[in-house]
Amino acid sequence: MSMFWWVVIITTIAGVVGTGLGGLLGVVMTRDSSKTVSLLLAFAGGIMLAVVCFDLIPSAFRPVGADGQMPLWMVLGGIIAGYLLVYILNDAIDKNTNPEVQHIGVDHPLTADDLDELIHSDHLTMHRNTNQAGLFAAGVVMASVIALHNLPEGIVIGASYAGHHTVLGGSAGLIIAIVIGLHNIPEGMAVSVPLVAGGMNRTKSVVVSALSGAPTILGAMLGYGLGLISPMMLCLALSFASGAMSYVVLGELFPESFLMWKSKAPGAAAMVGILIGIVLVRV
Protein backbone atom coordinates (compact mmCIF):
# COMPACT_ATOMS: atom_id res chain seq x y z
CA MET A 1 0.00 0.00 0.00
CA SER A 2 1.31 3.45 -0.91
CA MET A 3 2.15 6.03 1.75
CA PHE A 4 -0.70 8.25 0.51
CA TRP A 5 -3.31 5.64 1.42
CA TRP A 6 -1.65 4.99 4.78
CA VAL A 7 -1.99 8.70 5.49
CA VAL A 8 -5.67 8.60 4.51
CA ILE A 9 -6.35 5.59 6.75
CA ILE A 10 -4.49 6.98 9.75
CA THR A 11 -6.14 10.37 9.38
CA THR A 12 -9.58 8.78 9.09
CA ILE A 13 -9.01 7.05 12.42
CA ALA A 14 -7.79 10.26 14.05
CA GLY A 15 -10.49 12.50 12.58
CA VAL A 16 -13.65 10.49 11.99
CA VAL A 17 -13.18 7.79 14.64
CA GLY A 18 -11.88 10.30 17.21
CA THR A 19 -14.85 12.67 16.91
CA GLY A 20 -17.24 9.74 16.53
CA LEU A 21 -15.99 8.22 19.77
CA GLY A 22 -16.45 11.60 21.43
CA GLY A 23 -19.99 11.75 20.07
CA LEU A 24 -20.71 8.31 21.50
CA LEU A 25 -19.31 9.24 24.89
CA GLY A 26 -21.33 12.44 24.82
CA VAL A 27 -24.62 10.54 24.67
CA VAL A 28 -23.82 7.74 27.13
CA MET A 29 -21.39 8.96 29.78
CA THR A 30 -21.94 10.98 32.93
CA ARG A 31 -20.10 14.28 33.42
CA ASP A 32 -18.02 13.27 36.44
CA SER A 33 -14.74 12.61 34.68
CA SER A 34 -13.11 16.04 34.78
CA LYS A 35 -9.92 14.90 36.52
CA THR A 36 -9.38 12.04 34.11
CA VAL A 37 -9.98 14.25 31.08
CA SER A 38 -7.69 16.91 32.59
CA LEU A 39 -4.77 14.48 32.86
CA LEU A 40 -5.45 13.10 29.39
CA LEU A 41 -5.45 16.55 27.79
CA ALA A 42 -2.28 17.63 29.61
CA PHE A 43 -0.47 14.42 28.69
CA ALA A 44 -1.50 14.70 25.03
CA GLY A 45 -0.46 18.35 25.00
CA GLY A 46 2.97 17.49 26.38
CA ILE A 47 3.57 14.91 23.66
CA MET A 48 2.44 17.34 20.98
CA LEU A 49 4.64 20.14 22.31
CA ALA A 50 7.68 17.87 22.16
CA VAL A 51 6.84 16.81 18.61
CA VAL A 52 6.45 20.44 17.50
CA CYS A 53 9.70 21.60 19.11
CA PHE A 54 11.92 18.62 18.38
CA ASP A 55 10.57 17.30 15.08
CA LEU A 56 8.28 19.60 13.08
CA ILE A 57 10.22 22.87 13.45
CA PRO A 58 13.70 21.32 12.90
CA SER A 59 12.30 19.47 9.87
CA ALA A 60 10.86 22.74 8.52
CA PHE A 61 14.33 24.32 8.62
CA ARG A 62 15.88 21.36 6.81
CA PRO A 63 13.11 19.64 4.79
CA VAL A 64 13.78 16.44 2.88
CA GLY A 65 15.43 17.22 -0.47
CA ALA A 66 16.66 20.70 0.44
CA ASP A 67 20.25 21.66 -0.35
CA GLY A 68 20.58 23.82 2.75
CA GLN A 69 18.66 25.47 5.56
CA MET A 70 15.44 27.34 4.80
CA PRO A 71 15.21 31.08 5.62
CA LEU A 72 14.18 31.99 9.15
CA TRP A 73 11.44 34.34 7.91
CA MET A 74 9.80 31.55 5.91
CA VAL A 75 9.58 29.20 8.88
CA LEU A 76 8.38 31.93 11.25
CA GLY A 77 5.80 33.09 8.70
CA GLY A 78 4.40 29.58 8.35
CA ILE A 79 4.23 29.13 12.12
CA ILE A 80 2.38 32.42 12.57
CA ALA A 81 -0.05 31.61 9.74
CA GLY A 82 -0.86 28.19 11.21
CA TYR A 83 -1.34 29.60 14.70
CA LEU A 84 -3.62 32.43 13.55
CA LEU A 85 -5.82 30.23 11.35
CA VAL A 86 -6.59 27.75 14.13
CA TYR A 87 -7.04 30.63 16.59
CA ILE A 88 -9.66 32.23 14.32
CA LEU A 89 -11.52 28.94 13.84
CA ASN A 90 -11.45 28.19 17.56
CA ASP A 91 -12.73 31.69 18.32
CA ALA A 92 -15.62 31.07 15.92
CA ILE A 93 -16.51 27.92 17.89
CA ASP A 94 -16.63 29.91 21.14
CA LYS A 95 -18.75 32.72 19.69
CA ASN A 96 -21.26 30.45 17.94
CA THR A 97 -21.94 28.02 20.77
CA ASN A 98 -25.23 28.81 22.51
CA PRO A 99 -25.04 32.58 21.93
CA GLU A 100 -28.40 33.10 23.65
CA VAL A 101 -26.77 33.14 27.11
CA GLN A 102 -23.53 34.29 28.64
CA HIS A 103 -21.09 31.46 29.32
CA ILE A 104 -20.66 32.73 32.88
CA GLY A 105 -23.23 34.79 34.76
CA VAL A 106 -25.12 35.25 38.02
CA ASP A 107 -27.97 32.99 36.92
CA HIS A 108 -25.86 30.54 34.96
CA PRO A 109 -23.89 27.45 36.05
CA LEU A 110 -20.33 28.42 36.99
CA THR A 111 -18.60 25.54 35.25
CA ALA A 112 -15.63 27.16 33.51
CA ASP A 113 -13.43 24.65 35.33
CA ASP A 114 -15.49 21.58 34.52
CA LEU A 115 -15.94 19.08 31.71
CA ASP A 116 -19.48 20.45 31.31
CA GLU A 117 -18.07 23.78 30.14
CA LEU A 118 -15.65 22.10 27.73
CA ILE A 119 -18.53 20.34 25.93
CA HIS A 120 -21.08 23.09 26.70
CA SER A 121 -23.55 20.75 28.41
CA ASP A 122 -24.11 23.30 31.17
CA HIS A 123 -25.97 25.47 28.66
CA LEU A 124 -27.97 22.51 27.47
CA THR A 125 -29.12 21.53 30.96
CA MET A 126 -30.36 25.07 31.63
CA HIS A 127 -32.19 25.51 28.31
CA ARG A 128 -33.30 21.96 27.50
CA ASN A 129 -36.97 22.65 28.25
CA THR A 130 -37.18 26.20 26.93
CA ASN A 131 -35.34 26.32 23.62
CA GLN A 132 -35.07 22.89 22.01
CA ALA A 133 -34.83 24.31 18.49
CA GLY A 134 -32.03 26.59 19.63
CA LEU A 135 -30.14 23.65 21.08
CA PHE A 136 -30.41 21.74 17.82
CA ALA A 137 -29.18 24.78 15.90
CA ALA A 138 -26.28 25.13 18.32
CA GLY A 139 -25.34 21.51 17.64
CA VAL A 140 -25.43 22.06 13.87
CA VAL A 141 -23.29 25.20 14.19
CA MET A 142 -20.84 23.36 16.44
CA ALA A 143 -20.55 20.49 13.93
CA SER A 144 -19.94 22.90 11.05
CA VAL A 145 -17.30 24.97 12.80
CA ILE A 146 -15.50 21.92 14.19
CA ALA A 147 -15.45 20.48 10.65
CA LEU A 148 -13.60 23.62 9.50
CA HIS A 149 -11.40 23.43 12.59
CA ASN A 150 -10.36 19.88 11.64
CA LEU A 151 -9.08 20.84 8.18
CA PRO A 152 -5.76 22.36 9.37
CA GLU A 153 -5.35 19.47 11.81
CA GLY A 154 -5.40 17.14 8.82
CA ILE A 155 -2.82 19.32 7.06
CA VAL A 156 -0.58 18.78 10.09
CA ILE A 157 -0.77 15.00 9.75
CA GLY A 158 -0.24 15.02 5.98
CA ALA A 159 2.67 17.46 6.12
CA SER A 160 4.33 15.38 8.85
CA TYR A 161 4.33 12.34 6.57
CA ALA A 162 5.51 14.14 3.42
CA GLY A 163 9.02 13.11 2.46
CA HIS A 164 8.87 9.79 4.32
CA HIS A 165 8.18 6.42 2.78
CA THR A 166 7.18 4.29 5.76
CA VAL A 167 4.44 4.67 8.36
CA LEU A 168 6.93 4.94 11.23
CA GLY A 169 10.22 5.78 9.57
CA GLY A 170 11.48 9.17 10.66
CA SER A 171 8.00 10.67 10.85
CA ALA A 172 6.07 12.30 13.67
CA GLY A 173 2.86 11.81 11.69
CA LEU A 174 1.62 8.79 13.62
CA ILE A 175 2.30 10.44 16.98
CA ILE A 176 0.48 13.58 15.86
CA ALA A 177 -2.45 11.54 14.53
CA ILE A 178 -2.85 9.78 17.89
CA VAL A 179 -2.75 13.05 19.84
CA ILE A 180 -5.21 14.71 17.44
CA GLY A 181 -7.50 11.70 17.81
CA LEU A 182 -7.47 12.17 21.60
CA HIS A 183 -8.03 15.91 21.16
CA ASN A 184 -11.05 15.22 18.94
CA ILE A 185 -12.91 13.23 21.61
CA PRO A 186 -14.16 16.29 23.57
CA GLU A 187 -14.98 17.99 20.26
CA GLY A 188 -17.18 15.05 19.28
CA MET A 189 -18.91 15.31 22.65
CA ALA A 190 -19.49 19.03 22.03
CA VAL A 191 -21.37 18.13 18.83
CA SER A 192 -23.50 15.21 20.04
CA VAL A 193 -24.69 16.66 23.37
CA PRO A 194 -26.62 19.64 21.89
CA LEU A 195 -27.96 17.55 19.00
CA VAL A 196 -29.47 14.99 21.38
CA ALA A 197 -30.82 17.73 23.64
CA GLY A 198 -32.32 19.38 20.56
CA GLY A 199 -34.29 16.26 19.60
CA MET A 200 -32.02 14.24 17.29
CA ASN A 201 -31.83 10.54 18.09
CA ARG A 202 -28.61 9.26 19.61
CA THR A 203 -27.45 7.21 16.63
CA LYS A 204 -27.77 10.11 14.19
CA SER A 205 -26.02 12.48 16.59
CA VAL A 206 -23.04 10.13 16.82
CA VAL A 207 -22.92 9.84 13.01
CA VAL A 208 -22.98 13.64 12.63
CA SER A 209 -20.21 13.92 15.23
CA ALA A 210 -18.09 11.45 13.28
CA LEU A 211 -18.72 13.24 9.97
CA SER A 212 -17.56 16.54 11.49
CA GLY A 213 -14.11 14.93 11.57
CA ALA A 214 -14.13 14.06 7.86
CA PRO A 215 -12.43 17.31 6.73
CA THR A 216 -9.35 16.06 8.57
CA ILE A 217 -8.91 13.60 5.69
CA LEU A 218 -9.06 16.36 3.08
CA GLY A 219 -6.55 18.38 5.07
CA ALA A 220 -4.19 15.41 5.25
CA MET A 221 -4.36 14.92 1.49
CA LEU A 222 -3.63 18.61 0.98
CA GLY A 223 -0.74 18.70 3.46
CA TYR A 224 0.81 15.54 2.06
CA GLY A 225 0.42 16.69 -1.56
CA LEU A 226 1.89 20.13 -0.89
CA GLY A 227 4.82 18.61 0.96
CA LEU A 228 5.75 16.52 -2.08
CA ILE A 229 5.86 19.45 -4.53
CA SER A 230 9.21 20.88 -3.44
CA PRO A 231 11.41 21.34 -0.37
CA MET A 232 10.13 24.92 -0.07
CA MET A 233 6.49 23.79 0.00
CA LEU A 234 7.40 21.09 2.52
CA CYS A 235 9.03 23.76 4.67
CA LEU A 236 5.87 25.88 4.54
CA ALA A 237 3.62 22.90 5.24
CA LEU A 238 5.69 21.80 8.25
CA SER A 239 5.98 25.31 9.68
CA PHE A 240 2.22 25.84 9.20
CA ALA A 241 1.64 22.52 10.98
CA SER A 242 3.91 23.67 13.83
CA GLY A 243 1.90 26.85 14.32
CA ALA A 244 -1.45 25.09 14.11
CA MET A 245 -0.46 22.50 16.69
CA SER A 246 1.13 25.13 18.93
CA TYR A 247 -2.26 26.81 19.23
CA VAL A 248 -4.02 23.49 19.88
CA VAL A 249 -1.58 22.80 22.74
CA LEU A 250 -1.17 26.29 24.22
CA GLY A 251 -4.63 27.68 23.46
CA GLU A 252 -6.79 24.60 24.04
CA LEU A 253 -5.24 21.51 25.64
CA PHE A 254 -3.23 23.11 28.45
CA PRO A 255 -5.77 25.79 29.49
CA GLU A 256 -8.66 23.30 29.48
CA SER A 257 -6.63 20.79 31.46
CA PHE A 258 -5.47 23.23 34.14
CA LEU A 259 -8.94 24.77 34.54
CA MET A 260 -10.61 21.40 35.02
CA TRP A 261 -8.24 20.29 37.78
CA LYS A 262 -6.55 23.08 39.70
CA SER A 263 -3.60 21.12 41.04
CA LYS A 264 -0.04 20.22 40.12
CA ALA A 265 -1.15 16.91 38.62
CA PRO A 266 -1.90 18.24 35.09
CA GLY A 267 1.55 19.89 35.02
CA ALA A 268 3.15 16.58 35.95
CA ALA A 269 1.12 14.81 33.25
CA ALA A 270 2.26 17.40 30.70
CA MET A 271 5.90 16.88 31.71
CA VAL A 272 5.54 13.11 31.34
CA GLY A 273 4.01 13.72 27.92
CA ILE A 274 6.94 15.94 26.89
CA LEU A 275 9.49 13.31 27.96
CA ILE A 276 7.63 10.53 26.16
CA GLY A 277 7.31 12.77 23.10
CA ILE A 278 11.07 13.34 23.04
CA VAL A 279 11.67 9.59 23.28
CA LEU A 280 9.19 8.86 20.47
CA VAL A 281 10.75 11.49 18.22
CA ARG A 282 14.30 10.30 18.82
CA VAL A 283 13.75 6.54 18.69
pLDDT digits (tens, 9 = 90+) for 76-85: 999 999 999 8
pTM over 0.85: no
Q: What is the pLDDT of residue 217?
A: 93
Spans in the chain with pLDDT lower than 50: 98-104, 108-112, 127-130
Q: Tell me: the pLDDT tens digits for 148-163?
A: 778 888 888 888 888 6
Cα gap 69→5, rounded to integer Å: 30
Instruction: Find the domain containing 45 and state its range.
Output: 3-282
**Of 40, 11, 18, 8, which Cα lies nearest the Cα of 192?**
18
Sign of the torsion angle spanned by Cα atoms 59, 64, 68, 70? negative
Q: Tell me: the pLDDT tens digits for 103-127?
A: 445 554 444 455 555 555 555 555 4
Work out how many domains the chain is built from and give that number: 1
Q: What is the pLDDT of residue 101?
A: 43
Q: What is the pLDDT of residue 111?
A: 47
Q: What is the pLDDT of residue 89?
A: 78
Residues 181 and 14 sit within 8 Å (Cβ to Cβ)? yes
Residues 34 and 114 sit within 8 Å (Cβ to Cβ)? yes
Cα gap 132→264, rounded to integer Å: 40
Please state at what angle helix 34-51 crosses helix 231-247, rounded to 10 degrees.
150
Q: What is the pLDDT of residue 156?
A: 83
